[in-house]
Structure 1
Amino acid sequence: MLLALALGLLVAQSISAALLYQAAENRREQALVNAAAFRLLGNPQPDRERAERRRGRENGDGNRSRRAERRAWAGASGGGMTQGLPIPLRLQVTGTSPLLAGETRDRSREQALRDILGQQGIAVGDVIVVTRPLSVDPMTRDRSRLRERMARAMGPGTRVMVAAAQMPQRAGWTVARVVEPPPQRGALRTIIGQTLLIFLFLFALQFLLLRRITRPLKLLTGRTERFARTQDPSTPLTPEGPDDIRRLIAAHNRMEAKVGALLDEKNVMLGAIGHDLKTPLAALRVRIESVEDDHERGRMAASIEDITRSLDDILSLARVGRASEPPERAELSSLVASVVEEFEDMGDPVTLAETSRIVHPVHVTWLRRALRNLIANAVRYGGSATVSLVQSGAETVLRVEDSGPGIPEDRIEAMQEPFTRGEASRNRDTGGAGLGLTLARAIAEQHGGRLELSNRSAGGLRADIILPPAPASGA
């Protein structure tokens, strides 16, 4: 928002500066043409009058006449040119055109000068207006002291506008010269200073207002992300900021409290269900010992064990994400090696491949459970499993690969849903209850990561638990 405000203000001030500068240049241009027209309407001074005027300047009268003449020019130009007034030079009457070789006539000024003279009721013949440096003009070319005085008064690179007209009461060309004043820089400096002041004032005001709005929103975002990971509403956020933001935070706190209460009720209910179911299952397990048929007794025991494991998976899935303890920094290669060793001890074809020494904050028990589920699925459906731990950019990948038939591409997402499995039976020997991948995905998401399943080009399935970058040690 601050950048958008800065850009809008810059565009607006640029347009304003351009318009004001153009207006100042128009006033300067008008003053030049008015001064030339006023000079053309004057009378050329004979040599005797010029000598008398020079003597008058020596006596001090010339300064008063020059000030009176300057006031007259100011009145002719609208009275606004109190600074940088066009300075006229001596009026000449000559029989030849003042246009020098290679010069280009200024047609717009010629038309403006003709219009001004016409408004005074003077019908002139041809009009010539050109602009040239002082060092080129015949009147000032050989008068170094005059050029130096003009340069000191008007600045370096001073130019003179030469306006010549064929006046009806004079023979030949009446030539007036007006020294161009430098472009006015004061307006630009004023606009730049004004822009800086507006920038500082609006930026400070907008910063304070936006900070009052964005700070509580930032805290609310962090609180929401933390609640998504822990589902712990024990530390509600203090409402602050504008009224609507305070109401939003209060509503969020109430929502967190209700969600937390529902989750607590769910855990209590599932715990009660688990206890109520496991107790009769344990009693049933004792009673089947009296069955004399060993085959039937074994089938009954397997069924009870299958129900017990399915019940454990359901309770684990319900509890995942609400860990009571924060994650601990663990060396993942050791964790992966210990899980692989468990399967090797049971005689399962599980191989430990590439590993890297990676320390990452995790819930060790839950991550071990997820890795076991993926390895068990690979052994059950693919006949073997290859486990590796690699670093992919800033992410950590726990990878389990098999050489089985894989999963059809259109069923990969569905296979991660609860009670979905590739084999129709519920026999744990051929597939179980279909909660292994769901639980592995929930555990990966509990760590801020994700579970990705993909078919290998060489055949088989690849299952990746991808953990996000570990936070800094001081975070």
Structure 2
Amino acid sequence: MTAPSAAHKPVRKSRAVKTLGFRIAALLVISIVVVVGLATLAARLVFHKPVDPEAVAPVARQIHILITLAERDPQAAREAGADVRDEPARGRVDPKASRFLKDMLAYTGRATDATVIREPNSPVLVASVRLKEGNWLVLSALDFSPPNVWPGFVAWIVLIVAGSGAISVLAAIKVTRPLRIIEEAVESVGPNGELPHIREDVGGNEVRATARALNRLSVRLKAAIESRMRLVAAAGHDLRTPMTRMRLRAEFLPEEERGRWLSDLEELDQIADSAISLVREESVSGDAETVALAPLLESLVADIAAADLPVTLGRVEEVDVCVGPLALRRALTNLIVNAATHGGGASVTLDIIESQAVIRILDEGPGIPESLIDQIFEPFFRVDLARRKTIPGAGLGMLIAREIIERLAGTITIENRDPRGLRQTISFPIAGVADGLLSAQDVECT
């Protein structure tokens, strides 16, 4: 049985960093496109030179000569090559070119009605100018209107989006890399609060700086936790000697005082034992093996019932999990005894839900106020302090049970039932399904 390397531990991918990367990339792309687009439009407005009327005035005057000739002698105009018709040329009218031709004719001599059409698949414009008699002079015209830049502009923007998109994605990946390292480190934190070591010789400067900072944090955090555990263990151990002396001295007290002293010393002894057990559970992983949960629960419920505690075993399905059997037995014992003691009786069931083995411990007690239910795993927590006098216990059983369950890659939740009672739900991955999903502090089944 070996501990899996933290480097090979699969880390759940969070959507938060991915979303941030997408937002950064999208922001960069939009910024680049907006800036380039505005710069392109501004350049077009600044550098696009409007048509000078004097440049096209000779063409307009030639049209005036043809108009005068057609109005005086239509036949001579036709013989000279002019196209005089009873109606204007048919086709798709170009409003911009038509308006421009009217303005030029008015600028160079006489205003008259005129239309310009664009023939399909031809760059040449066809102008129709109204004569005095109501007929029309049709002639070819040059296109002085500015070119249509929108297709080229759209293609230009598409190229910018493609190029800036690739660059922006690379930039977003680089920017969010330290965040991904932090997220992976947080996701890899084990039940004992330790972070896996992160390589400091890969990536850019910001990545290496992040790795170094997290490694320093891991060392300091581990030292702080170990110091706390040593303090708790030492305090629990050192309490035994004065409590032993006090117990001996209590034997010489009067009968009416002796019982109360011994009761208080027994409670102190339980607190010391629980504190030492808590330290042991946080510092020792133990061996894991494939365990059949159904027989374990049946044996456990039978033992608790033999101690005259109200507990029953309900529906139980056959399922194997990868756990430390002694540690799990202790955790379940704490939870079931707590339900039987404080909840007026416990009922235990075992179900298979998807890839999880789910143990439920139900009781019929008064439950816990919703405002306090999040504190149930805190050390020495009691809903009613008066229970210290009527129900024995140090107040660390629930905390120890959670430490064991989480160390065995399980989860525990507690919620109120309707109309009364508590539901404790303990889940473990089914053996074989959890391969590769254990944390760096967990052990693998052989």
User: Could you say whether these structures have the same fold, taking a TM-score greater than 0.5 normalized by the shorter chain as the test?
Assistant: yes
Contact 1:40 1:174 in 2 (8 A): no
Q: Distance in 2 between matches of 1:42 and 1:328?
A: 108
- 1:312, CA displacement in angstroms? 2.0
DSSP 3-state at the match of 2:316: coil
Residue number among 95, 111, 133 corresponding to 2:99 in the alignment: 111
Whether 1:163 and 2:127 are equivalent positions in the alignment is yes
Q: Highest CA radius of gyration, 1 or 2? A: 1
Highest RCO, 1 vs 2 (Cα 8 Å, sep ≥ 6):
2
Q: Which moved more, 1:451-460 or 1:289-298?
A: 289-298
Aligned to 1:174: 137
**Structure 1: stretches of 5+ with no match in the other structure:** 52-89, 135-154
- 1:129, CA displacement in angstroms? 0.8
DSSP 3-state at the match of 2:315: coil
Q: Given the superposition, is the C-alpha separation of residues 393 and 324 from structure 1 closer, same or farther in structure 2, using an over 3 Å criterion?
A: closer
1:93-242 → structure 2 map (5 Å cutoff): 93-94=83-84, 96-98=86-88, 108-119=96-107, 121-124=108-111, 126-131=112-117, 155=121, 161-166=125-130, 173-178=136-141, 188=151, 192=155, 195-196=158-159, 199-200=162-163, 202-232=164-194, 235=197, 237-238=199-200, 240-242=202-204
Aligned to 1:141: none
Q: Which moved more, 1:380-389 or 1:224-233?
A: 224-233
Q: Distance in 1 between matches of 2:134 and 2:198?
A: 99
Code of the residue aligned with 1:174 in structure 2: it is L
Code of the residue aligned with 1:163 in structure 2: it is A
- 1:452, CA displacement in angstroms? 3.1
DSSP 3-state at the match of 1:353: strand
Q: Distance in 2 between matches of 1:39 and 1:339?
A: 112
Whether 1:40 and 2:1 are equivalent positions in the alignment is no
- 1:400, CA displacement in angstroms? 0.9
- 1:387, CA displacement in angstroms? 0.9
Q: Which moved more, 1:240-249 or 1:382-391?
A: 240-249
Residue number among 273, 297, 303 corresponding to 1:312 in the alignment: 273
- 1:35, CA displacement in angstroms? 11
Aligned to 2:435: 473
Q: Distance in 2 between matches of 1:467 and 1:39?
A: 95
Aligned to 1:261: 223
Give the aligned length.
404
- 1:376, CA displacement in angstroms? 0.8
Deviation per residue, 1:159-182 (Å, 9 max, x gap): 9744222469x995422135989x
1:446-461 → structure 2 map (5 Å cutoff): 446=407, 451-461=412-422
Q: Given the superposition, is the C-alpha separation of residues 364 and 129 from structure 1 closer, same or farther in structure 2, using an over 3 Å criterion?
A: farther
Kindly report the root-mean-square deviation, in angstroms, between the aligned alpha carbons of the 2 structures: 5.2
**Structure 2: stretches of 5+ with no match in the other structure:** 1-23, 438-446
Query: What TM-score results when the alignment is normalised by the length of structure 1?
Result: 0.64
Deviation per residue, 1:48-77 (Å, 9 max, x gap): 9999xxxxxxxxxxxxxxxxxxxxxxxxxx
Q: Given the superposition, is the C-alpha separation of residues 409 and 337 from structure 1 closer, same or farther in structure 2, using an over 3 Å criterion?
A: same
Deviation per residue, 1:398-440 (Å, 9 max, x gap): 2211122323334333444322324434658614222223333
Q: Distance in 1 between matches of 2:152 and 2:335?
A: 72
DSSP 3-state at the match of 1:473: coil
Q: Given the superposition, is the C-alpha separation of residues 338 and 18 from structure 1 closer, same or farther in structure 2, using an over 3 Å criterion?
A: farther
Q: Which moved more, 1:374-383 or 1:11-20?
A: 11-20
Code of the residue aligned with 2:221 in structure 1: it is V
Contact 1:328 1:361 in 2 (8 A): yes
Whether 1:343 and 2:307 are equivalent positions in the alignment is no
Query: What TM-score results when the alignment is normalised by the length of structure 2?
Result: 0.67
1:54-93 → structure 2 map (5 Å cutoff): 92-93=82-83
Contact 2:89 2:138 in 1 (8 A): no
DSSP 3-state at the match of 2:393: coil
